[in-house]
Amino acid sequence: MPRLLLLFAHPAYDHSRANRQLLQNLPNDPRLTFRDLYEVYPDFYIDIEEEKRLLSEHDIVVWQHPVYWYSCPPLLKQWMDLVLEFGWAYGPGGVALRGKRLLQVLTTGGSRQAYQVDGFHQRTLRQFLVPFEQTARLCGMEYLPPFVAFGTHRLTAQALFDISLDYARVLHRLMDDETGAFARELARFEYANDCLPILHSISPSAS
């Protein structure tokens, strides 16, 4: 069954109310490998071969991070620059990641309404994520609609808890998705969160 590698990147995790809650309800499942990049690499010295080994052993890759200036925190960008090597992840002979799935899990201070063409940011969040999506495609990966906690500064504790349960459901479904049916269903939506009826058909504590 599919194995999932969750790469978490937050330089100020202790101060992150939203990401702390999202991680509270992660599935307790041997198929899930959790890796806190800022804890593993506080000096930004990335063990490229170890990261490549982990990627090779998993079928689904999750990048969980806050949105920083319409992008990701610097350590995750460093990870992408170094680990996704020419001839390994893309280019001639670069087929190591082909067929794997990539999910971004994001937290934003701005609301979903702010991330609209006629909103405060003048673009949708998906438009800002195009470089990540194209990176996945260049590596032959399937880019899934991102799971996003919008407007985290205004969310109640209960709302964050509910979002964390939906997040757990998404991860469960992906790890159980041997045929790709759930991934194909997700592809119809702008954000993974929009697939609520499907997400709620599974218990977040199931394994």
Return the CATH number at 84: 3.40.50.360
Q: Is residue 204 one of the residues assigned to a domain?
A: no
Domain that residue 56 falls in: 4-199
What residues are paired with 142 via a beta bridge? 101
Q: Residue range 174-185: average pLDDT?
A: 93
pLDDT of 207 over the 50 cut: no
Q: Is residue 207 part of a domain?
A: no
d(CA 82, CA 1): 29
Query: Strands, E, within the chain: which ranges?
Result: 4-8, 32-36, 60-66, 101-107, 142-143, 147-149
Cα 47 to Cα 69, 72, 86, 106, distances in angstroms: 26, 20, 17, 25
* Of 157, 9, 173, residue with least CA distance to 76: 9
Quick check: 100 and 144 in contact, CB under 8 A?
no
- Per-residue pLDDT reduced to its tens digit, 125-177: 999 999 999 999 999 999 999 999 999 999 999 999 999 999 999 999 999 99
Question: Cα–Cα distance between 128 and 13 in angstroms, integer?
Answer: 23
Q: How far is CA 104 from the centre of its chain?
A: 2
Residue 171 corresponds to which tokens in the numbers above? 């991860």
Asked whether residue 59 is assigned to any structural domain, the reply reads yes
Q: Is residue 205 part of a domain?
A: no
Overall domain count for the chain = 1
Kindly tell me if the per-residue pLDDT of 205 is higher than 70. no
pLDDT tens digits, residue range 54-110? 999 999 999 999 999 999 999 999 999 999 999 999 999 999 999 999 999 999 999
Is residue 133 one of the residues assigned to a domain?
A: yes
